[in-house]
Structure formats: structure tokens, C-alpha cells
């Protein structure tokens, strides 16, 4: 599975998402321009010591991602979508796409891929969830549907 962040702006969010990727085996794609340096101390602090476990890809633009992964299924997270994220069927190689914190995914991309847009239900009065929270909600639903493939399952039986 892949998480794609289009022009992320806040290093702590990207660091949190990198940590999620490290713990799940999901590959991370960062689409430029980035709103921070990848050497940023807040980015590294949020990802803690997990960065060596993350497979990170850097892309010059989103068109590059579409071209490189044309055989993959894309899901575009937006508050404007009709489809709820939990009603979608996910696959192992799917691309979960998220926009930047202040503007989301560009309208031109949403219009072109409208049938593949998904949303997280929330109160009408609120604008959106935090980016790293949104990524976690959708990524874990996708992994749940895939029976948490490739993740170790530790339960109470393993406590001694």
C-alpha cells in the first residue's frame, strides 16, 4: 500500500505519517513542493527513530505519480466526496492520496478522479480533521480490510 502526500506543509504531520508508515510497511510518497526541509528537526522528531524503516519516494509533481503507478488503484481523500472511506474496497497496492493541510487536493485532480474520491464523516460545522489523523483513519481501515497483512499480531496470549 502507498500513502501519497501532495505538497505537505507541516513537518510534524509528515513525521507522524512517516511513523505510521514505518509501523505498517506502507510506502510514503512526497509530492513537491514540500513546505519544509526533509532535514527539519520537527519532521525528524515526529518520526522519531523510525525513518530508516520508511520507504520514501519523492516526486516533482502529482502527474509523475500517476504516470509511475498507472496500474494502481487511487483513492483521493477529500471532505467534498460522496463516498465514505469505509464503504470502499481496498487492495494491497492501492494509493491513498491526501492534499496539503491548508487546501487539500487541488480541485483539478479531484474533478478528474471524482469517482475515486473518499471522505471521513464528520460534523457539518467542522472543516476537516488533522492530516495525520485522516491518514491514520483511512490507512487502518484499508489494512483492516486486508486482514492486517504482513503485520505481527500480538495479543493477550503472548503476555507472560
| Residue 79: domain span | 2-158
Structural domain total, the chain: 1
Q: Is 128 annotated as a binding residue?
A: yes
Dist CA 36 CA 83 (whole Å): 32
> Tens digits of per-residue pLDDT, 42-94?
666 655 677 888 999 999 999 999 999 999 999 999 999 999 999 999 999 99
Nine cell digits for residue 118: 473518499
Q: Is 99 annotated as a binding residue?
A: yes
Looking up residue 133, the CATH number of its domain turns out to be 3.40.1280.10
pLDDT recorded at residue 42: 63
pLDDT recorded at residue 36: 81
**Of 87, 74, 71, nearest in space to 29 by CA:** 74
Dist CA 98 CA 77 (whole Å): 5
Q: Is 120 annotated as a binding residue?
A: yes
> Tens digits of per-residue pLDDT, 90-141?
999 999 999 999 999 999 999 999 999 999 999 988 888 999 999 999 999 9
pTM above 0.85, yes or no: yes
pLDDT recorded at residue 126: 86
The answer to whether the CB of 7 falls within 8 A of the CB of 99 is yes
The answer to whether the CB of 33 falls within 8 A of the CB of 11 is no
pLDDT recorded at residue 6: 98
3-class DSSP assignment, residue 44: helix
pLDDT recorded at residue 153: 64
pLDDT recorded at residue 139: 98
Amino acid at each position: 500500500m502507498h500513502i501519497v502526500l501532495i505538497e505537505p506543509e507541516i513537518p510534524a504531520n509528515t513525521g507522524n505519517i512517516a511513523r505510521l508508515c514505518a509501523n505498517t510497511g506502507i510506502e510514503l510518497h512526497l509530492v513537491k513542493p514540500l513546505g519544509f526541509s526533509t532535514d527539519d528537526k520537527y519532521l525528524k522528531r515526529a518520526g522519531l527513530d523510525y525513518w530508516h524503516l520508511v520507504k520514501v519516494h519523492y516526486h516533482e509533481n502529482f502527474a509523475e505519480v500517476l504516470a509511475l503507478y498507472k496500474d494502481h488503484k487511487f483513492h483521493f481523500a477529500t471532505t467534498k466526496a460522496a463516498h465514505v472511506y469505509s464503504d470502499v474496497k481496498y487492495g494491497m497496492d492501492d494509493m491513498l492520496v491526501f492534499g496539503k493541510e491548508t487546501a487539500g487536493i487541488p480541485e483539478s485532480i479531484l474533478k478528474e478522479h471524482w469517482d475515486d474520491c473518499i471522505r471521513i464523516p464528520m460534523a457539518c460545522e467542522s472543516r476537516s480533521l488533522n492530516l495525520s489523523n485522516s491518514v491514520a483513519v483511512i490507512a487502518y481501515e484499508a489494512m483492516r480490510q486486508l486482514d492486517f497483512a504482513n503485520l505481527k499480531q500480538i495479543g493477550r496470549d503472548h503476555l507472560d
